[in-house]
């Protein structure tokens, strides 16, 4: 009986999460200006990089790509909790479990970051001449990295939405948290510059994965406390 | 006698630190190349990190307790531990920079351990920025407790796990001889272990002083009705909360 009940409660949780994700997508579609604003921010930064640098060294190319994505994701994820009005949060509180709310936000933000990162990568390669020789590997690193960004920033957005001047605070709080992830990603991307990958950097990937797991666990465990006001 | 029972650890801290300073500078040290007498920094630099980690662990513990008990006193203790831990971390960085200048030839190197500790300090500085940005004391306590637990969960891999995976100039990492290779000299060991205990006790003492000052300040401000709180002021003033 016990495993069956567990399965039922998990299924119920998943239903809530799915509804909340669909709600987020609908809201995003109704407020298209904010997402297109982020896209415009991303593309104008990439264009700015193109005008400022005539010719880039490969390491500079890699580092700048991740820095651009970093600041784009701060502004993209920041809105996920800060944008929600107090009354609407109270409404979610009455209809959904807090863990379902944070899980939905984590999944939604990672998916959104993935989309932004892939678009950003396409534009960046198109405009600035790419030194990448391992394209498939590079796409893999970009997707994993953008998921990490989405996961790490979601909880920071929730925390900073509780404080005043939250948009500035969000950047201050999350940048030190993301430094280890950023360094790992830059290191991983540098492997994509090689003509031939001899040793697949499995240890760095698993470290990145471990950091992701820590972030998700912390968010799921701590969000219920943050939520009640 | 009861005074002795209550304060013995403070006395022990003073005695151990006096011993550390006297013995640390006067005892013979192994004459190793490059390191030479700078090896005496072991009694000051390394215990700072022990003290910092201990205090931050304590801070995380108080934050966890706060989330289940919801008493302001625990939040004040968490903040005080983090503050003293941050202070010890800054001292650790400063003593380390001095040591790096003497042995490695530069104030700052691109060492993973230095990166980890810098990240740790930045995270805890962000913790204090977060605390000061919230006016409502109950909300501040709750939000900063959540942030503090996350900070500790990232600080530990940043300072202990990541540096061990890559090359480092620090002993025990990346093919360098480990710690025990230096203090095989038992003369060093009999100063080093008391030094660690002494500095940790001093950190705990500083924490309790900071926390007590903060509790008094909070009470005074509650009495004057300066800060915003959803808790009635009388209740905040009530000593049973603290």
pLDDT at B1 > cutoff 70: no
Nearest to A189 by CA among A132, A119, A105: A132
pLDDT of residue A40 exceeding 80: yes
**Nearest residue to B47 via CA among B195, B179, B161, B189:** B195
Does the structure show a pLDDT above 80 at B173?
no
Domain of A115, in residue numbers: 2-227
Cα A44 to Cα A49: distance, rounded to the nearest angstrom: 9
Mean pLDDT, chain B, whole residue set: 81
Contact status of A224 with chain B (Cβ, < 8 Å): no
Mean pLDDT to the nearest integer, B91-106: 87
Which of A:137-156 have CB within 8 Å of B? 155
**Cβ pair B143:A172 closer than 8 A:** no
Sign of CA dihedral B210, A221, B153, A72: negative
Which DSSP symbol is given to B90?
A: H
How far is B57 from A46, CA to CA, in rounded Å?
42
| Contact yes or no for B56/B33 (Cβ under 8 A) | no
Lowest mean pLDDT among A122-131, B132-141, B160-169, B173-182: B173-182
pLDDT category at B237 given cuts 50, 70, 90 is very low
Residue A186, min C-alpha distance to chain B (Å): 14
CB atoms within 10 A of CB B18: 11
Residue ranges covered by each domain of chain B: 43-237
Please say whether the beta carbons of B182 and B36 come within 8 A.
Answer: no
How many domains does chain A contain in total? 1
What pLDDT sits at residue B240? Answer: 43
Q: Is the pLDDT of residue A107 over 70?
A: yes
Say if A159 is an interface residue toward chain B (CB within 8 Å).
Answer: yes
For residue B227, pLDDT over 70 is answered with no
Angle between helices A2-30 and A32-52 (to 10 degrees): 70
CA neighbor of A69 nearest in space, from A39, A24, A34: A39
């Amino acid at each position: 009986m016990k495993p069956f009940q567990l399965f039922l409660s998990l299924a119920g949780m998943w239903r809530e999460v799915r509804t909340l994700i669909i709600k987020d997508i609908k809201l995003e579609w109704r407020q298209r200006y904010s997402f297109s604003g982020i896209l415009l921010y991303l593309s104008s930064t990439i264009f700015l990089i193109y005008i400022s640098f005539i010719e880039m060294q490969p390491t500079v190319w890699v580092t700048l790509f991740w820095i651009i994505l970093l600041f784009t994701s701060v502004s993209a994820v920041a809105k996920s909790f800060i944008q929600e009005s107090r009354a609407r949060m109270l409404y979610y509180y009455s209809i959904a479990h807090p863990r379902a709310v944070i899980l939905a936000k984590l999944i939604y933000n990672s998916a959104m970051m993935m989309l932004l990162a892939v678009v950003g990568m396409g534009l960046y390669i198109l405009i600035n001449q790419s030194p990448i020789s391992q394209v498939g590997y590079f796409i893999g690193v970009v997707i994993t990295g953008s998921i990490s960004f989405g996961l790490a920033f979601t909880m920071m957005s929730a925390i900073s939405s509780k404080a005043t001047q939250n948009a500035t605070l969000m950047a201050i709080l999350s940048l030190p948290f993301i430094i280890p992830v950023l360094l790992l990603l830059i290191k991983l991307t540098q492997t994509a510059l090689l003509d031939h990958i001899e040793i697949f950097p499995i240890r760095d990937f698993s470290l990145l994965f471990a950091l992701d797991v820590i972030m998700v666990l912390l968010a799921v465990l701590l969000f219920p406390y943050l939520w009640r006001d | 006698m009861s005074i002795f029972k209550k304060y013995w650890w403070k006395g022990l801290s003073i005695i151990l630190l006096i011993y550390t300073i006297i013995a640390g500078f006067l005892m013979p040290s192994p004459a190793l190349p490059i390191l030479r007498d700078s090896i005496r920094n072991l009694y000051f630099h390394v215990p700072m990190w022990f003290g910092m980690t201990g205090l931050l662990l304590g801070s995380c513990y108080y934050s966890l307790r706060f989330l289940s008990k919801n008493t302001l006193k625990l939040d004040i203790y968490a903040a005080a531990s983090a503050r003293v831990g941050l202070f010890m971390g800054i001292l650790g960085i400063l003593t380390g920079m001095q040591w790096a200048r003497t042995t490695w030839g530069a104030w700052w190197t691109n060492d993973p351990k230095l990166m980890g500790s810098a990240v740790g300090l930045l995270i805890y500085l962000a913790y204090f920025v977060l605390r000061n940005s919230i006016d409502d004391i109950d909300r501040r306590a709750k939000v900063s407790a959540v942030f503090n637990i996350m900070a500790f969960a990232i600080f530990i891999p940043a300072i202990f796990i990541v540096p061990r995976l890559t090359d480092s100039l620090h002993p025990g990492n990346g093919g360098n001889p480990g710690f025990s290779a230096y203090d095989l000299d038992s003369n060093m060991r009999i100063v080093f272990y008391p030094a660690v205990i002494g500095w940790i006790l001093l950190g705990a003492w500083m924490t309790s002083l900071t926390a007590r000052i903060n509790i008094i300040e909070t009470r005074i401000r509650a009495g004057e009705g300066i800060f915003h709180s959803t808790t009635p002021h009388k209740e905040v003033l009530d000593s049973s909360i603290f």
